[in-house]
């Protein structure tokens, strides 16, 4: 059983966070909210998303699991105007999801969850550095790095107490430094890892406007990005595996 009503913007933000990595996903319809975990086909980027029941206008579920085509669901959510409510109801018999938006009914065929790539376990890493940064600063760093390279180095200098971004192109370089004052928070520990810019660009697209992003970093370790959605009633964690440094 699953029946819920949710604000269209909340639904869109939720779907966007996952669709930057995968086309299809499993959604756990838990009693206390939904959960989505997914990993991209290359096993480089992962997402773990929770949206609490309290993020919905109304929510009833008893622990089911469905498989959905994300871009199709995004198209439907895109039919709603800002602030409109989207009603979701699972038909257990037909394995279809009935979606209603102000008189408009959409019947979405679900995907067999077993046919969808297995869900990842996001490893519990003990990373030495954590910064809290405005999403806009991530956007700026990613855009600048993209002018010169396909890779981006993210690091923290524990001595100088700053977070930095480095991108080295064939002829040109980009460097960005943000001190404790430029950041929302900084727990300094030496960290430096190289990442694929394509993945980070995709993850950046999923950041809500005005997002505060907590970033955990290590030495040639994955980076984790944590941010809230749905006014704190939902949480997203992205994890991105590092590239081997090529010096």
Binding site for a copy of itself (CB under 8 A): 72, 75-76, 79, 103-109, 140-141, 143-144, 147-148, 171-178, 182
Integer Cα distance of 196 and 216 in angstroms = 17
The tokens for 71 are 């871009």
Tracing tokens 């969808």 back to the chain, one arrives at: 116
The tokens for 70 are 């994300």
* Closest to a copy of itself by CB, 53 or 108: 108
| End-to-end CA, the chain | 55
Q: Which residues contact 203 (CB under 8 A, 6 or more apart)?
A: 20, 21, 45, 225, 238, 240
* Closest to a copy of itself by CB, 108 or 132: 108
The least distance separating a copy of itself from the CB of residue 178, rounded to whole angstroms, comes to 6
Please state whether beta strands 64-69 and 85-91 pair in parallel, antiparallel, or not at all (unpaired): unpaired
Integer Cα distance of 194 and 57 in angstroms = 42
The least distance separating a copy of itself from the CB of residue 153, rounded to whole angstroms, comes to 14
* Closest to a copy of itself by CB, 179 or 245: 179
The least distance separating a copy of itself from the CB of residue 144, rounded to whole angstroms, comes to 6
The least distance separating a copy of itself from the CB of residue 112, rounded to whole angstroms, comes to 13
| DSSP-assigned letter for residue 150 | S
* Closest to a copy of itself by CB, 185 or 220: 185
* Closest to a copy of itself by CB, 60 or 106: 106
The least distance separating a copy of itself from the CB of residue 82, rounded to whole angstroms, comes to 14
Integer Cα distance of 214 and 185 in angstroms = 9
Q: Supply the DSSP string of 228-241, one letter for each residue.
A: EEGGGTEEEEEEEP
Closest CA to 130 of 181, 166, 180, 74: 180
* Closest to a copy of itself by CB, 172 or 231: 172
* Closest to a copy of itself by CB, 57 or 172: 172
The least distance separating a copy of itself from the CB of residue 26, rounded to whole angstroms, comes to 18
Integer Cα distance of 130 and 120 in angstroms = 23
What's the half-sphere exposure (Cβ side, CA atoms, 13 Å) at 209? Answer: 2
The least distance separating a copy of itself from the CB of residue 102, rounded to whole angstroms, comes to 9
What's the half-sphere exposure (Cβ side, CA atoms, 13 Å) at 118? Answer: 4
């Amino acid at each position: 059983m699953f029946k819920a009503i949710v604000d269209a913007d909340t639904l869109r933000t939720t779907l966007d966070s996952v669709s930057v990595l995968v086309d299809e996903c499993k959604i756990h319809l838990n009693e206390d909210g939904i959960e989505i975990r997914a990993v991209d086909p290359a096993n480089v980027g992962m997402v773990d998303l929770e949206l609490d029941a309290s993020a919905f206008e109304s929510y009833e579920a008893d622990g089911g699991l469905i498989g959905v085509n994300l871009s199709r669901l995004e198209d439907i959510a895109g039919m709603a105007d800002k602030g409109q409510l989207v009603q979701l109801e699972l038909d257990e018999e037909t394995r279809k999801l009935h979606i209603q938006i102000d008189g408009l009914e959409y019947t979405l065929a679900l995907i067999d969850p077993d046919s969808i790539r297995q869900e990842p376990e996001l490893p519990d890493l003990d990373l030495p550095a954590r910064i809290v940064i405005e999403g806009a600063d991530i956007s700026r760093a990613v855009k600048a790095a993209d002018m010169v390279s396909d890779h981006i180095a993210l690091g923290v200098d524990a001595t100088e107490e700053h977070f930095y971004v480095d991108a080295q192109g064939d002829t040109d370089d980009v460097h960005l430094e943000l001190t404790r004052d430029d950041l929302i928070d900084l727990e300094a520990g030496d960290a430096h890892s190289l990442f694929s810019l394509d993945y980070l660009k995709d993850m950046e697209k999923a950041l809500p406007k005005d997002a505060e992003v907590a970033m955990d970093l290590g030495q040639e370790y994955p980076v984790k990005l944590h941010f809230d959605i749905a006014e704190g009633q939902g949480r997203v964690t992205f994890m991105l595996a590092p590239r081997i440094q090529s010096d």
